[in-house]
């Protein structure tokens, strides 16, 4: 085998230009496939990151009525939906891949939040438990966070995000100031922000409407004070943090299933559902992949053309080396030896084309990324598979010339000039 490989390299090197032109179809086909696959993978990762964010791996589970979130402010507390207990929360924390979990209440408020005469129209008031900010990867940027005493003694204190602070205070320092939430005074004690800021990549107006988040801002209060503002207890929402992005869908569905086992509602459309951002990402990815798969098939045609070129040049090689084949057979070379030599030469030729094609494909992908600002992610399995496939092409298309060489009559071969 090693001798066959050595002879193959020797033969390729002795006909450098012919060998390169023979490999060109393989190189172009492999390069096109690598570039397309890298672009698909990079775009898919961007879509996933834009929808899910900077790697928080959090999933929100909320109460729905049909396809829409249940609006407590308009519908009131539904019968048969209990408050989520700590025992139920413990069950959810025991789910595989769930690292953390927290309960919260949320209400979008259009006319209930004020600082002096400035309103936070359309902002969110969120009642959080003591574990919420840790679960969702928030940090205190300024001031302090909630303490156990704030929860225990029902302190009317609030944390703002940067958006709500900008809207309400317009550059003024909010710490120590008093805001009103439905005429209840709350003292601002801090500003919170994500531990890792993330901005989605927006390249078009469609991306803007897909990824743009509500910028009216959020106000966080201890969940123990929620009934002071909204007058009654109500079922909470749940947010879980999982180990990886790929675990989000299953962990979210399993959490929702646990919560739904405690429901006793007459309206069967009322149930907990997980916000499946990963599934949304997959649906968007599939729209692009269907087109890109067609491009891969088109690029694959050049591999077939390259394979035919390999078969053609190997047939020429057999004709040129007829006497060499006859001499080898005359001194005892078996058919299998001749067959192996020519198959090895064909597979080495196409493998070299595959390697050059992978290198060219990576370079092409980087150029596409640079000039079109399209993200790319090099797929190592695709690169390895491309080289292996090119070797298979060499074996398949080299079979006929190799078989022809192995079956030459040694006497006739030696006579031929």
Residues 6+ apart with CB under 8 A from 234: 72, 77, 83, 105, 226
Of 134-148, 316-330, 373-387, give the range with the top mean pLDDT: 134-148
Q: Higher-confidence residue: 44 or 209?
A: 44
- First-last CA distance in the chain: 29
Find the helix or strand (DSSP H, E) in which 372 lies. helix 335-372
CA–CA separation, 114 vs 214, rounded Å? 18
Q: Decide if pLDDT at 47 tops 60.
A: yes
Find the helix or strand (DSSP H, E) in which 163 lies. helix 162-169
Q: Decide if pLDDT at 316 tops 80.
A: no
**Region of poorest pLDDT, from 99-103, 203-207, 225-229, 374-378:** 203-207
- Band (175; pLDDT cuts 50, 70, 90): very high
Q: Decide if pLDDT at 315 tops 80.
A: no
Q: Decide if pLDDT at 376 tops 60.
A: yes
pLDDT digits (tens, 9 = 90+) for 62-94: 998 888 888 887 777 888 899 999 999 999 999
pLDDT digits (tens, 9 = 90+) for 244-279: 877 888 898 999 999 999 998 888 889 999 876 555
pLDDT digits (tens, 9 = 90+) for 297-314: 766 777 777 777 777 777
CA quadruple 24, 30, 31, 32: dihedral sign: positive
Q: Are 404 and 315 in contact (CB under 8 A)?
A: yes
Residues 6+ apart with CB under 8 A from 173: none
Q: Where on the phi/psi map is residue 170: left (φ > 0), alpha (ψ -120 to 50), or beta?
A: left
Q: Higher-confidence residue: 23 or 203?
A: 23
pLDDT digits (tens, 9 = 90+) for 87-97: 999 999 999 98
């Amino acid at each position: 085998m090693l001798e066959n490989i050595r002879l193959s390299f020797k033969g390729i090197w002795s006909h450098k230009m012919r060998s390169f032109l023979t490999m060109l179809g393989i190189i172009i086909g492999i390069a096109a496939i690598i570039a397309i696959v890298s672009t698909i993978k990079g775009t898919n990762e961007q879509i996933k990151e834009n929808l899910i964010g900077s790697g928080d791996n959090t999933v929100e589970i909320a109460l729905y009525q049909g396809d829409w979130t249940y609006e407590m402010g308009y519908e009131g507390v539904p019968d048969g939906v209990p408050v989520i207990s700590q025992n139920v929360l413990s069950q959810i924390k025991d789910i595989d891949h769930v690292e953390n979990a927290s309960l919260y209440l949320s209400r979008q408020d259009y006319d209930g939040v004020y600082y002096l005469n400035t309103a936070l129209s359309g902002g969110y008031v969120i009642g959080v438990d003591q574990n919420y900010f840790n679960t969702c990867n928030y940090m205190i940027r300024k001031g302090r966070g909630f303490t156990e005493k704030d929860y225990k003694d029902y302190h009317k204190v609030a944390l703002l995000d940067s958006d709500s602070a900008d809207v309400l205070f317009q550059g003024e320092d909010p710490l120590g100031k008093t805001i009103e939430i439905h005429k209840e005074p709350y003292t601002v004690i801090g500003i919170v922000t994500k531990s890792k800021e993330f901005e989605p990549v927006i390249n078009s107006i469609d991306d803007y409407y897909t990824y743009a988040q509500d910028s009216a801002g959020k106000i966080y209060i201890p969940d123990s004070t929620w009934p002071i503002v909204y007058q009654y207890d109500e079922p909470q929402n749940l947010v879980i943090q999982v180990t990886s992005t790929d675990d989000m869908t299953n962990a979210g569905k399993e959490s929702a299933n646990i919560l739904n086992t405690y429901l006793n509602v007459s309206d069967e459309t009322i149930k907990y559902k997980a916000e499946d951002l990963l599934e949304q990402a997959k649906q968007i990815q599939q729209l692009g992949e269907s087109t890109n798969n067609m491009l891969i098939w088109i690029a694959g045609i050049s591999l077939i053309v390259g394979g035919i070129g390999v078969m053609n040049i190997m047939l020429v090689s057999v004709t040129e080396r007829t006497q060499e084949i006859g001499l080898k057979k005359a001194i005892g070379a078996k058919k299998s030896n001749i067959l192996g030599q020519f198959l090895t030469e064909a597979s080495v030729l196409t493998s070299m084309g595959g390697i050059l094609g992978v290198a060219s494909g990576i370079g092409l992908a980087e150029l596409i990324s640079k000039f079109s600002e399209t993200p790319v992610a090099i797929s190592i399995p695709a690169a390895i598979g491309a080289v292996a496939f090119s070797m298979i092409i060499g074996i398949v298309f080299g079979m006929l010339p190799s078989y022809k060489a192995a079956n030459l009559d040694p006497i006739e071969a030696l006579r031929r000039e």
